[in-house]
Amino acid sequence: NAGVTQTPKFQVLKTGQSMTLQCAQDMNHNSMYWYRQDPGMGLRLIYYSASEGTTDKGEVPNGYNVSRLNKREFSLRLESAAPSQTSVYFCASTAGPYNSPLHFGNGTRLTVT
């Protein structure tokens, strides 16, 4: 049982380049989330998908887009990367969304130069 799988683990981009971060979960969870983690700022919610077919903005959605491809997969796209998007990105899922904890992936460390 792999849980939440994120790819890639590391990525370096130049300013203006685009890329998609992939996330898949095998726990039949309904809700999926994308967070970014920055030192001293904790985790901030970028986008989430409460259920298949729906997506909503979180605290810091600017510069990102998401796709809930099916129940298992939730991707995060950077159309034109900026240095301010250098961060560690975590995907998470939960059965709920109500009374269930989040299960996190191992993260993607992204550097934009």
Q: Does 19 bind other proteins (CB under 8 A)?
A: no
CA angle 93, 67, 24 (to 5 degrees): 40
Residue 99 C-beta: closest distance to other proteins, Å: 5
Q: Does 53 bind other proteins (CB under 8 A)?
A: no
Q: Are strands 42-49 and 56-57 parallel, antiparallel or unpaired?
A: antiparallel
Q: Which residues, listed in sequence order, are joined to residue 21 by a DSSP beta bridge?
A: 76
- The correct pick among 7, 17, 44, 73 for binding other proteins (CB under 8 A) is 44
Express the helix, strand and coil content of the chain in percent, nearest 5 each: 5, 50, 45
Q: Does 35 bind other proteins (CB under 8 A)?
A: yes
Q: Does 102 bind other proteins (CB under 8 A)?
A: yes
CB nearer to other proteins: pick between 48 and 78? 48
Q: Which residues, listed in sequence order, are joined to residue 1 by a DSSP beta bridge?
A: none
Torsion of CA 78, 80, 85, 89, to 10 degrees: 10
Residue 74 C-beta: closest distance to other proteins, Å: 14
Q: Does 28 bind other proteins (CB under 8 A)?
A: no
- The correct pick among 58, 72, 73, 95 for binding other proteins (CB under 8 A) is 58
